[in-house]
Amino acid sequence: MLIVGELINSSRRPIAEAIAARDKAYLQELAVKQVEAGAHIIDVNCGTSLAQEAAVMAWLVDIVQEVVDVPLCIDTPSPAAMEAGLAHHKGKAMINSITAERTRWEEVLPLVQRYKPSVIALLMDDGGMPATVEDRLRVAGRLVPALVDAGVPEEDIYLDPLVKPLGVGSTCGVEVLESTRILRQKYPQVHLICGLSNISYGLPERRLLNRAFMVMCLSVGMDAFILDPLDRPLMSLLAAAKAVAGKDDYCLEYIAAARAGKLVV
């Protein structure tokens, strides 16, 4: 199970302000806290920096890697910012993301081949966001072989089935769950990841919906999540979900977490 800590993202106002002010201490503390809480990778996103995004991404990668040893996920729609982040990153990074959209594929693939990061691949193409399970399977059927042909090992591929809010349609969760179940069987070596919080966009008490969705995703074979690792009830439920889903032999991790007082009931 791989946890990508999502908090250093400039779409969140305090982060945008900290980045604008180059508040290194604040951002470093947030990185350290996420790792201490169980994040295996720290997402860095400074999309609101606009024209300076590449320079800011390079700075962000530098200051976060000063304080944590885990890889960073260079999260940006800008190929220039992605390249700046990758060039400054020490060790194997992760990127968010490549897609099957023609332009995006052509811009990002050379960076993947040059820097060899783990790759989050969104299951969308020039037809836009996937509307059905079949859309997702079709795009995966193009992306996985194309990435492998380009030299990316299956273990470095993280397919993201793209979560749409339940407010858009009551079956948005089920579509992702069914896609995940099939993709897990079809690509046993490939990782499956999603951003949990999209499911609850626009609805009340969002964290409850995120938690329920996380448990269901895990049970059908999703093995990586982009989430807030400081949400202790979420992380506690994740530990329980792993045990219940048979992914924690003899419940040893769960029992250890309980003994360490890490579980919030």
d(CA 159, CA 44): 19
d(CA 29, CA 8): 11
In this chain, which of 51, 149, 170, 188 binds a copy of itself, going by CB under 8 A? 170
Interface stretch with a copy of itself, choices 21-29, 73-81, 88-96, 229-237 (CB under 8 A): 229-237
Give the tokens for residue 151: 């030299």
In this chain, which of 127, 145, 151, 167 binds a copy of itself, going by CB under 8 A? 167
Residues of span 176-215 touching a copy of itself by CB under 8 A: 177, 199, 203-205, 207-209, 211-213, 215
Buried b (16+ CB within 10 A) or exposed e, 74-95: bbbebbebbbbbbebbeeebbb
For residue 15, state whether it binds a copy of itself (rule: CB under 8 A). no
What sign does the CA torsion over 3, 184, 211, 213 have?
Answer: positive
For 221, the 3-state DSSP assignment is: coil
In this chain, which of 33, 109, 251, 253 binds a copy of itself, going by CB under 8 A? 251
Give me the residues that bind a copy of itself (CB under 8 A), please: 166-167, 170-171, 173-174, 177, 199, 203-205, 207-209, 211-213, 215-216, 219-220, 233, 236-237, 239-241, 243-246, 248-251, 254-255, 258-259, 263, 265
